Amino acid sequence: MSCRLRLLVLAVFLLPVLGAASLPATPNTDDPALEARLNHLAEDLRCVVCQNESLAESRASLALDLREEIREMMRAGLTDDAVVESLVARYGDFVLYRPPVKPLTYVLWGGPLAFLLIGIALALATLHRRRTLRPQADVSPEALREAARLLRSDHSRHPGSPIASGTASRLSHQEER
């Protein structure tokens, strides 16, 4: 592919991304500070109809209504916490993308840490067991001789394999002892 063609293909694939980036999430306002506050807050709130979108990015009509509702509460002087609280009172913790720590969510918050600790414990136990593992001593001389013979024949078939020859010589050395 020529360089120019490659650039063209890239440009085509980037078009929708650029288009999305150039659209503001919420137009129509005369108070940029309030709008910034709203958008910051809405990032952590779930749109209740389109469940995998935040309230900031959703264009569902209920999300628009909810943003208007939040705008009004902010204009009435409510703090961010008070706004979130009033939404939780109607829709439950479900609207929060960051669920609160409480008995029902202990597993959710503690689970990953618990799994990490279990993993570390298993790893340590396995390493400890491997370190204390003793080589098997009860191999008969016949078995060792047979192994050496097999390795040697393997070596003759694949000349220049250093591992095989090294092992074979070590084995034959052991044989002499």
Partner 1 sequence: MRRWIPLLVFAVLGVFLYLGLYLNPKEVPSPLVGRPAPDFTLPVVGRPGETFSPSEVRGDVWLLNIWAPWCSVCLEEHRHLPRMVGGRVPVYGLTWKDLDREAAPLLARNGSPYVAAVDDHDGRVAIRYGVTVTPETFVIDRDGMIRMKHVGPITPVIWKSKFEPLLRELQL
Nearer to partner 1, 61 or 140 (CB): 61
**Alpha-carbon separation of residue 124 from 23, 130, 134 (angstroms):** 52, 10, 18
Return the DSSP state at 111: H
Alpha-carbon distance of 95 to 43, in angstroms, equals 11
Supply 146's token pair: 């047979």
Q: What are the b/e assignments for 50-79, b being 16+ CB within 10 Å? A: eeeebbbebeeeebeebbeebbebbeeeee
Stretch that binds partner 1, among 28-36, 61-69, 141-149, 164-172 (CB under 8 A): 61-69
Residue 53, interface with partner 1 (CB under 8 A)? Answer: no
H-type helices in 23-79, by residue range? Answer: 32-42, 61-75
Residue 91, interface with partner 1 (CB under 8 A)? Answer: yes
CB of 99 to partner 1, least distance (A): 13
Nearer to partner 1, 42 or 148 (CB): 42
Which residues have CB under 8 Å from 141's CB, separation 6+?
175
Nearer to partner 1, 62 or 114 (CB): 62
**Closest Cα partner for 97 from 132, 69, 57, 137?**
57
Residue 65, interface with partner 1 (CB under 8 A)? Answer: yes
Residue 88, interface with partner 1 (CB under 8 A)? Answer: yes
**Interacting residue with partner 1 among 1, 89, 137, 163 (CB under 8 A):** 89
Query: Using an 8 Å Cβ cutoff, are 105 and 92 in contact?
Result: no
Stretch that binds partner 1, among 33-41, 64-72, 124-132, 163-171 (CB under 8 A): 64-72
CB of 65 to partner 1, least distance (A): 5
Mask 29-48, x = binds partner 1 (CB under 8 A)? -------------------x
CB of 77 to partner 1, least distance (A): 19
Site residues, partner 1 (CB under 8 A): 48-49, 51, 61-62, 65-66, 69, 88-92, 94
